[in-house]
Structure 1
Amino acid sequence: MQRKALALLSGGLDSTLAVKVMLEQGIAVEALNFTSPFCTCTGKNAGCKSEAVRVAGEFGIPIKVLHKGAKYLDIIRNPRHGYGKGMNPCIDCRIYLLRKAKEYMTTCGADFVITGEVLGQRPMSQRRDTLRVIERESGLEGLLLRPLSAKHFPPTIPEQEGWVDREKLLAIQGRSRKEQMQLADDLDVKNYPCPAGGCLLTELSFVSKVRDMFDHSDQVNLRDCRLLKVGRHFRVGPQTKVLIGRNEADNQLLEGAMQDGEVALRWNEGGSPLGVVTGEVDEHLMQTAARILLRYTKAEPGRDCAIKLLRNGGEELRQITNDFTEADIEGFRI
C-alpha cells in the first residue's frame, strides 16, 4: 500500500527538497501552501503561491492553496509564545499552520505531514526545544516528519512503521545552505528560487505600520493588512489614517481597495498621487490629509490649491493651502 504525505510547500528550496526526498522513496505527496499579506515575495523573489504551484506542477503533485485567514491576525496581535525580533510570532504561526494541515489530512487522505524545517536554521522557531513544542501543540506528535533533519530526532511513526526509509533521510542542521544546494544538485532539482522566503513581520521598518494598525483598531481585517504594503502611511487622528500612493501602481491599488465611507483625494490642477483617507473622517482631518497630499505634488508652496474629493460616488472641490513643511509631515508619518 502506497503511503501519502501532506507537505507544507512554500516553494522555497527547503520545502521543495523535502517533497523531492519523499517522492524519491515512492511516497505519494500532496502539497499545502499558505499565503499571507505579510509575505515579502515578489515577482523577482517568487516564493509564495506562484512558486509553490510551479514546483507542484514540475513534480506532478496536487496542491491546495489556502489563505492564513482572519484568525491569524489574532495570533499576531497576541501570540502565546511571543515575538521574534519584530512582530513575527514564528512559533505560534507554525503551530497554526500545522493544525490546519492536520485538519486537511482527513480530507486528502494523508498518513503524515512533512515540512522543510531544518534544525538550527531559524533562531526562534527551529531550535530543538521549539520544534518539540510546535509538534506537540499542533497535535501531530509522531506524524510530523522533517526529512532534511530527521536523523537529529527520534524516529517518527512513518519511520518506525517502515513507510519511510530512515537511512535515506538527512541530518542537515544550521544556517548554511551548502548542504541543501548540494542535495538539489544530487536530486536534479533545478530553477529553485532564493533559499528562503521572508516575512515582513520581521522587518522593523514595516512593524511600525503593523503596530499602529493594531493600536488604533479593534477590528483589523485582511484588506487593512494588504494595504500596509502600499504607499506612504500617515496617522492624522486616533481612528483616521491617510495612505498616499508612491506611483501609478499604488494609486490603482488604493483606488480599487476603497470601501464605503472612505475618501479619495487628488490635486485638481496637475498630475499627483492619489490619497485615501480611511477610518473616521471630518472636515479638519480631511484638510490635514489634503495638506499632506500636496507635499507630494508640484504645487507651489504657500498657494491655495484645488483638491478633488471623491466619496460615495460623489465629487467635490476644496481649496487647501499648500503650507505643510517636511517637518510637519514627519509628525504624522507612520
Structure 2
Amino acid sequence: MKRKAVALLSGGLDSTLAVKMMLDMGIDVEALNFTSPFCTCTGKNSGCKSEAVRVAQEFNIPIKVVHKGLDYLEIVRNPRHGYGKGVNPCVDCRIYLLRKAKEYMQESGADFIITGEVLGQRPMSQRRDTMRVIERESGLEGLLLRPLSAQHFEPTIPELEGWVDREKLLAIKGRSRKDQFQLADELDVKNYPCPAGGCLLTELSFVPKVRDIFDHSDELNQRDFRMLKMGRHFRIGKRTKVIIGRDENDNRILETAIQPGETRITWLDGNTPLGAVMGVQNETCLELAARILLRYTKAEAGMDCRIKVQHDDNERILTISNSMDEAAVSSYIVA
C-alpha cells in the first residue's frame, strides 16, 4: 500500500528538499504551510506563503495554508518553554505547528509527518534535546521524520516499517547550507525559495513593539501584530497608540489599514507622513499625536501648523504649534 506523509512546507530550501526526497521514494505528500504576522519573508509580490504554494504546484502536491490564530498569540505571550534572545518561543511554536500537523494527518489519512529540520541549524529549537521534547509534546514520537538529518536519530516507524529507505536518508548537521545546495543540484531543485522564513520575534528591535501590545491590550488580535511591520509607533495613552509612516510605502499601507473609529492626521501645508491614531481618543490625545507628527515634517520649529484630522466621515482642521523637541517625542516612541 502506498504511504502518505504530511509535510511542513515553510517556503524554504530545507523543507523543499525534504518533500522532494519523499516524492522520489514514492511517498504521497500533502503540504501544510503556516503563516503568521511575524514572517520576514515578504517580497513585493510574494512571501513564504506564495513560495510554498509555488513549490507545491511545481511538485504537483496538494497544499493547505493555515494562519496561526489567537491561540498562537497566547503562546507568544506566555510560552511554556521560554523565549530565545527576543520574544521568540521557538520550542513552543514548533510544538504548536506539529500538533496542528498531527490533527491534519489524522483527518487526511496520512501515515506520518515530515519536516526540513536540520540538527544543530537553529540554536533553540533544533538541538538534539529540544527536538526530542518537541516530538514528545506534539504527540508524534516515532511518526516525525526529518529526512535531512534522519541518520542522527533513532529510526522512526516509517523507516522501521520499510515505508521509506533509511539508507537514502541523510546526516546533515549544523548551520552550513553547503550540503543542501549540493543536494538541490543532485535532485534538480531549481529556483531556491527564500532560506527558511525569518521571524521578527527573534529581532531585538522588534521586541518592544510586541511587549507594548501585550502590556496594553485586554484582548489580542491579529491586526495589531500585522501593523507592527509598518511605520513608527508611539504609545501616548494606556489604550492609545499613534503610528506614523516612515515613507510613501508605509503611508499607502497605513491609508488602507485605518478602520472606522480611528483617526487619520496629516500636515495640511507641506509634505507629510500619514499618522493614524488608534484606540481611545480625546482632544488631548489628538493634539499630542499632531505634535508628534510635526516632528517628522519640514515644518519650522515654533510655527503654527494646520493639521487635517479625519475621523470616519468627519473632517476638521487643528492649528498646532510645532513645539515638541526630539527628546519629548522620543519619550513616547515604542520602536
Contact 2:48 2:194 in 1 (8 A): no
Could you list the per-position Cα deviations for residues 206-256 of structure 1 after superposition, in whole angstroms to 9, with x for gaps in the alignment? 111111111111212100000000111111112111100112221222222
Deviation at 1:46, TM superposition (A): 5.5
- How much does 1:258 deviate? 1.9
For 2:323, the equivalent position in structure 1 comes to: 323
Name the SS for the 2:33 alignment partner: strand
User: 249-258 vs 220-229, which deviates more?
Assistant: 249-258
CA, structure 1 residues 47+262, in 2 after alignment: closer, same or farther (shift >3 Å)? closer
Bigger mean CA deviation after superposition, 253-262 or 140-149: 253-262
Displacement after TM superposition at 1:317 (Å): 1.0
| Structure 1 residue 329, shift from structure 2 partner | 1.2
Cα-to-partner distance string for 1:165-192 (whole Å, 9 max, x where unaligned): 1111011111111111111111111110
Mark the runs of 5 or more structure 1 residues left unpaired by the alignment: none
1:198 CA drift (Å): 0.5
Deviations 1:12-40 (A, max 9, x none): 11100100110110101111000111001
Q: Secondary structure at the match of 1:54?
A: helix
> Residue 112 of structure 2 contacts residue 158 of structure 2 at CA under 8 Å; is this kept in 1?
yes
Partner amino acid, structure 1, of 2:286: M
Q: What is the distance in 2 between the residues matched to 1:191 and 1:252?
A: 31
Q: Contact 1:45–1:194 at 8 Å: present in 2 too?
A: no
Q: Which residue of 1 aligns with 2:84?
A: 84
**TM-score w.r.t. length of structure 2:** 0.97
Matches within 5 A, 1:269-308: 269-308=269-308
The within-5 A match list for 1:75-224 is: 75-224=75-224
In structure 2, C-alpha distance between the alignment counterparts of 1:16 and 1:99, rounded to whole Å: 21
Q: How many residues align?
A: 334
Question: Given that residues 46 and 193 in structure 1 are in contact (C-alpha distance below 8 angstroms), is that contact kept between their aligned partners in structure 2?
Answer: no
1:264 is paired with a residue of what secondary structure? Answer: strand
Alpha-carbon displacement from aligned partner over 1:239-291 (angstroms, at most 9, x marks no partner): 11110011222122222222232111111122311101111111111111000
Gaps of 5+ in 2: none
Look up the match of 1:252. Answer: 252
Shift of 1:48: 0.9
Q: Secondary structure at the match of 1:100?
A: helix
Aligned AA for 1:283?
Answer: E
Deviates more, 1:263-272 or 1:158-167: 263-272
Alignment identity in percent? 73
**SS of the residue 1:118 aligns to:** coil
Q: SS at 1:228's partner residue?
A: helix
Kept in 1, the 8 Å contact 2:243–2:277? The answer is yes
Secondary structure at 1:134's aligned position in 2? helix
CA 1:156–1:47: 2 relative to 1, 3 Å: farther
Alpha-carbon RMSD across the aligned residues, in angstroms, is 1.3
**Please, what TM-score do these two structures have when normalized by structure 1?**
0.97
Mapped to 2, the partners of 1:90 and 1:46 lie a distance apart of: 24
Whole-angstrom distance in 2 between the partners of 1:32 and 1:81 = 24
Matching of residues 61-80 of structure 1 within 5 Å: 61-80=61-80
Structure 1 stretches of 4+ with a deviation exceeding 4 A read 44-47
Structure 1 residue aligned with 2:27: 27
DSSP 3-state at the match of 2:171: coil
- Partner Cα separation in structure 2 for residue 281 and residue 61 of structure 1: 50
CA distance in structure 1 between the partners assigned to 2:135 and 2:45 by the alignment = 29
- The aligned amino acid for 1:245 is G
Is contact 1:230-1:250 (8 Å) kept?
yes
